[in-house]
Amino acid sequence: MSRSRAPRSPSGRHNNEDLLIWACFTAGGEHLWLDVEDIFHKAYELAPNRMSWRTRGDIADKLKCAKALQAIEHPTKSQHAGLLLRRGEYKRKLSVKGLDWCEQHRKMLERLYGSAQVPAASTQDASRTIRHLESSETFKRFRAKSVLACERWELAEALSCMVDSDLSVWIARLDRLMAAAKANSRRDVIDFVEASRLLVEKFFDTRDSVDQ
């Protein structure tokens, strides 16, 4: 039986499937369920020459976007398997794996498709980030005891991160959480981020020493 392939890295050249995943990220798909048309519109904003009609550069070509989405979600041939979550016919959101993919390859994706259209994180987005953290048992224990003692997987869960994510992804999650904490004047979250940075350093120092 054939299986979906593991997600590949961005191609390094313009590619509609990579662009659509990046468009979902820049449109807020980390936190929000987005209508596919909103993702298509963001893809057109980021790459209008690529995602427009051949004869009318001012009109977004939804067919190109729809084909890219079909390729992403193909059950056996997708090169982006597991990067998007689906709710019904029209709603999509980045999975944790999809968010990791965008953050891990952010520099390349920004170079290819730009990020000038991406707004700064809104207060609403910052509040969502904090609410997710507050729902985690790891943060609840930290707030009760002012000590961060947890397993790697527990911190990964609190940060919406994968256990085997690259260090750059962990740092990006902590940077985003710190920005949200400062925007909401949350001293308890700031303290959690600072403690988490030390713990993440230990996680990676331990792994590096084991690998050597």
Same domain, 133 and 183: yes
Q: CB-based contacts of 79: which residues, under 8 Å, 6+ apart? A: 5, 7, 8, 17, 71
What per-residue confidence (pLDDT) applies to 2?
Answer: 41
Same domain, 29 and 108: yes
86 is a domain residue: yes
- How many separate domains does the chain show? 2
Tokens of 211: 């690998």
Distance between CA atoms of residues 175 and 141, nearest Å: 21
Domain membership of residue 64 (yes or no) is: yes
Query: Is residue 138 domain-shared with residue 73, that is, in the same domain?
Result: no
Question: Is 1 within the bounds of a domain?
Answer: no
Residues whose CB is less than 8 angstroms from the CB of residue 167 and which lie 6 or more positions away in sequence, other chains included: 200, 204
Q: Residue 91 in 3-state DSSP? A: strand
Domain that holds residue 95: 16-113
Residue 3 in any domain: the answer is no
Q: Specify whether 140 is located in the same domain as 89.
A: no
pLDDT digits (tens, 9 = 90+) for 133-163: 999 999 999 999 999 999 999 999 898 888 8
- pLDDT band at residue 15 under the 50/70/90 scheme: confident
Question: Is residue 108 located within the same domain as residue 22?
Answer: yes
Which of 81, 113, 145 is a domain's end point?
113
pLDDT at 183: 82
C-alpha dist (Å) from residue 104 to 10, 37, 82, 141: 10, 26, 15, 29
Reported as a single tens digit per residue, the pLDDT across 25-57 is: 988 888 889 999 999 988 888 888 788 887 777
Beta bridge partners of 57: none
Q: Are residues 138 and 101 located together in one domain of the fold? A: no
**Rounded to the nearest 5 degrees, what angle is found at the Cα of 116, between the Cα atoms of 65 and 118?**
65
CATH assignment at residue 69: 1.10.10
Residue 170: what residue type?
W
In a domain, 8, yes or no: no
Among 49, 79, 113, the domain-final residue is 113
62-113 pLDDT tens trace: 898 999 999 999 988 888 889 999 999 999 999 988 988 888 888 888 888 8
pTM flag (> 0.85): no
Answer yes or no: is pLDDT of 207 > 80: no
Find, among 90, 111, 88, 117, the residue nearest to 25 by Cα. Answer: 117
Query: In angstroms, what CA-CA distances link 163 with 11, 14, 96, 105, 160?
Result: 25, 30, 11, 18, 10
Grouping H, G, I as helix, E, B as strand and the rest as coil, residue 86 is strand
Residue 50 backbone phi and psi in degrees, to 5:
-85, -35
